Structure 1
Amino acid sequence: MSSFRVIVCLSLLSVLNIGRVSVSAKEVAKSAPDVGQKVADFDLPIVGGDQMLKLSDQYAEGPVVVIVLRGFPGYQCPLCSRQIGALTNRIKTIAKTAKRVILVYPGPASMLDDHATDFMGSRKLPAPIVMVRDPDMEMVNRWGLRWNAPRETAYPATYVINSDGEVAWRLISDSHGGRSTATDIIKALDKIESTN
């Protein structure tokens, strides 16, 4: 009976902790760039090299999708891998409107390149997808997406940014799941295309 009580108590604590994280995510969503607002620019290194990618150079050519992954919170996130796989399966449709799809891999700078390269494995990203590193989570902090909890880095988030650098659509998840789908992104890009 004693071990049963311990299990029940631990389960309740786990549920309560998840509830607190969700509240924090809602607060983050209020401070993160919203639809109609201009996003802060970034200049981040591309995974696997030292070449830099500047956001404003990308959206000057047309709509850009920015997907913030979880990076390395102590392990490689399987939901991030699944999200990228689904995205690459629909990239031809996405690329009809999006000039660039930027995957942001945040984390502490010390081992970030190694972790990001490990995450990519043998996977080759089709154009126009590119993955960048966010050393010490500078971009994540500037955009208000930092998930300040043990073994966390950033809230999974997707932004569709128009050619003026403004948010046309966004989704910020309050959990590891609840992420944007390729269909969500395509619908958001279609709205941009229909207004041009």
Structure 2
Amino acid sequence: MIKFADEVRSGPLPTTDLLQLKFTNLENQSVELKSLLHPGKKLVVVVMRGFAGEVCKFCTTQTSRLVSNYSKFTDRETEIVIIYPVSSAQDSSRLQELQMGAAAQLQVPFQNIQSSMPMLLDVDLEAVKKLGIEKNLAKPSTYIFDGEGNVRFAYVGSHLADRPSIQALLDVIDKIQ
């Protein structure tokens, strides 16, 4: 069984204005991160490794765990968005492969994964480059915003499996006012 970090500390907060970052949805429409932030609600932004020849098993596992525990986040007035980096627009279908892998792990219909929370593409690694998290596509990273749009937590994994556990994320969220 894949285990993620239960005890995490925030690293340096990014100097880039994350709310200005733009992503692409599966309908090929541009989505600004700030459009996903709602007053009074926290936002967890999870940047996956992305597609590097195959869908990463750690990305699939993390996605399935976020989906299966989604109500624990919404109970805390927190939304989640998953960002999936791809090196070109031709790789856009890889996000669906990630979703299918998560659905298979949870043994739920693919549509349950698609409709659970926003999952967006970082085409051409634009956000990854601005965040400075490049490494064979992207280092797995998690950013948590408070209800006013301020980044309060930043975790950049040092390797593919280095990601916060669900409980670690919930613990951080519980400490953010």
Name the TM tier (shorter chain).
0.7 to 0.9
Aligned partners of 2:30 and 2:18: how far apart in 1?
Answer: 18
Q: Deviations over 1:146-193 (max 9, x none)?
A: 11xxxx10000111111332221121110011201111111111112x
Alpha-carbon shift at residue 141 of structure 1 (Å):
0.7
Aligned residue pairs, count: 157
Structure 1 distance, partners of 2:124, 2:28, is 16
Specify the structure having the higher radius of gyration (Cα): 1
Change in 2 beyond 3 A, CA 1:123/1:73: farther
Distance 1:57 1:130 in 2: 11
Over the residues paired in the alignment, what is the CA RMSD in angstroms?
A: 2.2
- TM-score, length-normalised on structure 2? 0.78
Q: Give the Å deviation of 1:38.
A: 5.2
Letter of the aligned partner of 1:129 in structure 2?
Answer: M
The corresponding residue for 2:87 is 108
Summarize the alignment of residues 159-170 of structure 1 with structure 2, pairs less than 5 Å apart: 159-170=143-154
- 1:172 to 1:45, Cα distance in 2 relative to 1, 3 A: same
1:53 aligns with 2:41: no
Question: What amino acid is the match of 1:101?
Answer: I
**Which SS does the other structure have where 2:83 is aligned?**
strand
Distance 1:118 1:139 in 2: 21
1:33 aligns to 2:14 (yes or no): yes
Among 127, 148, 156, which residue is 2:140 paired with? 156
Of structures 1 and 2, the one scoring higher in RCO (CA 8 A, sep 6+) is: 2
Kept after mapping to 2: 8 A contact 1:103/1:130: yes
**1:182 and 2:166 matched:** yes
Provide the secondary structure at the position in 2 that maps to 1:165: coil
Residue equivalent to 1:134: 122
CA distance in 1, matches of 2:115, 2:87: 27
- Which segments of structure 1 move beyond 6 Å, counting only runs of 4 or more? none
Partner Cα distance (2:150, 2:162) in 1? 23
Deviates more, 1:157-166 or 1:175-184: 157-166
TM-score normalised per structure 1: 0.71
Q: State the shift of 1:117 in Å.
A: 1.9
* Contact 2:86–2:92 (Cα < 8 Å) also in 1: no
8 Å CA contact retained: 2:18, 2:33: no
Aligned twin of 1:67: 46
Give the alignment partner of residue 82 of structure 1, picking from 61, 64, 80: 61
- Contact 1:58–1:99 at 8 Å: present in 2 too? no
Distance 1:128 1:56, change over 3 A: farther
Distance 2:34 2:174 in 1: 21
Q: 1:43–1:69: structure 2 CA closer, same or farther, 3 Å change rule?
A: same
In the alignment, is the contact (CA less than 8 A) between 2:45 and 2:143 conserved in 1? Answer: yes
Q: CA deviation at 1:123?
A: 5.4
- Percent identity reads 20
* AA in 2 matched with 1:49: E
Deviates most, 98-107 or 152-161: 98-107
Aligned partners of 1:98 and 1:189 also within 8 Å: no
